[in-house]
Chains A and B, each alone.
Chain A
Amino acid sequence: MNKNHRVPSNRSLSAVEVKSKFGAEFRRFSLDRSKPGRFDEFYGLLQHVHRIPNVELLVGYADVHGDLLPINNDDNYHKAISTASPLLRLFLQRKEEADHLAFGTDSLTRKKNTVLSAVLLRPDPNRKKPPVIISLPKDFRPVSSIIDVDILPETHRRVRLYKHGQEKPLGFYIRDGSSVRVTPQGLEKVPGIFISRMVPGGLAESTGLLAVNDEVLEVNGIEVAGKSLDQVTDMMIANSHNLIITVKPANQRNNIVRSGGGGGGAASGSSGRSSDSGASYYGYSSPGGIGAAASTPSHIIQNFHPEELESDEDDEDLVIEAGGEAELIPCAPSASYSMPSLPRYEPHLNLRTAAAAASSGSLAMERRSLEEDGTVITL
C-alpha cells in the first residue's frame, strides 16, 4: 500500500500529503508546507481528524531515512514538514500505552520492514534482535560520551560507555603493561593496565572513544594503580552497565586544546561521535606522551554532585511478585550506605528524569526476563 503513495505527486509542491495512523485507522489530509503552523495546532488537528479529542497522543513520523522520529515540539514538527517528500507518514499512539519499545520496534518492524529497515543504524545480521530504539526525547537514554573534559588534564580522557539496553558488546580487552611516568627522581616505569584490542562493531570501537594501547587510569572513579589485571577486569564488569573509564590515550595528538579557563565547560559533555575518534587507528604509543604524563592521575579532581551519588537507576533489580506484575525494586528513601564516598558519575548531558529512566529500565528488564526464562513466568 505504501507503494501507491511513493508515486511523486506533482499536484502541489506547496502541499504536504499526510497519512496518519492511529491504531488500525488511517486518516489522510494535507498541510501547507510553507505555513505549517505550530505544534499544538497540529496536535489538535490530529485529535480532531481521528476523533479522539481527549486522548493524549504520542506523535511519530517516518523520516526520509525511514527512521521513526517523534514530533512533540515546533522544531521537530517543522522539520518533519519540511523534509516530507512527498508523503508525511504519522504514527499515533495513546500516551498511556506509550510503550516506546513497541512504538519504535514491534508495530513498524513487523509491517513496514521496507521503511524501517533503516532504523537499524548499523545493520544487524541477526534479525531476531530488536533494533536500536529510537525513543521519545524524554526517554532519551544516555549515550557513550567523553565527559568531564573541563576538569581533567588535557592528556587524560574520561569516557563513559553506556550500554543501557543495547545488544552491542562493550567489545574491548585489557592487558598488563608498563608506562613511563615522570617523577622528581626522573623517569620511572610503573605497571599499568592498557586496552589491548577492540572487538569490531563493539561499543568501544564503534564510538571511537577508546583505542588500543590507551592506558586505563580509573574505573568509575577508582584508580586502578596497584590493582591486578583480574581486579580491574572484575571492576569493569561490575560497572558494565555504566562504565566510566579514565584513560590516557595512546595518541595524544587529538587532545582537546583548551584556550584558557572559559572554553573548557563548553566542550564538556560532547556526545557520541567525538572529534578524536581517529585515535583508534594509532596503535603505537609515542614517546612524546611521556612529557604529557607528567600530570599524574592524583591531580584529577572529581566533578561530582553529592545528590547524584545514589541514582542507581542502572542497577535496579527486578522483582516478580507471584501473581503480580514485574516491578523494579524502588530505592528506599533511607538511601544506601553503599560507598558513600564513591562517586557515581552523572553525564553532564543528562536529559532524562529519574522516573523515565526507571520505566525504560523496567521495560528493558521485563523484556529481557521474558526472553531469558520463558518458563519463569508464573505470573
Chain B
Amino acid sequence: FLVYLFLIGIYGLITSRNTVKTLICLELILNSNNENLITFSDLFDSCQLRRDIFANFVIALAAAEAAIGIGWIGKSLLIKTKPTGC
C-alpha cells in the first residue's frame, strides 16, 4: 500500500500543473511514504531500532521544509494578489 502511495505522490508531484501549492502537498505525501517505508523495513537485518529514530528525524525534516516552503509560496502568492506593500 505504501509503495503505491509513494508512486501516487511522485505522479502527482510531476503532474501538478494547477498551482504551486499542490506541488508541495504531494511532496508531503512523498515524505510520509518515505518514513513509512523506513519504519516498515524491519525485515532487513539491522539491529537496535535505527530506522525508528531515523524516521523521527525524517518527520522533523519534513516539518521544517514544509514550514519554509509554505512561507516561500505564501509570499509569492501574496505578491501576486497585493502588489502594494503594507
Question: Does A associate with B in a complex?
Answer: no
Which residues from chain B sit less than 8 Å from chain A, CB to CB? none
Which residues from chain A sit less than 8 Å from chain B, CB to CB? none
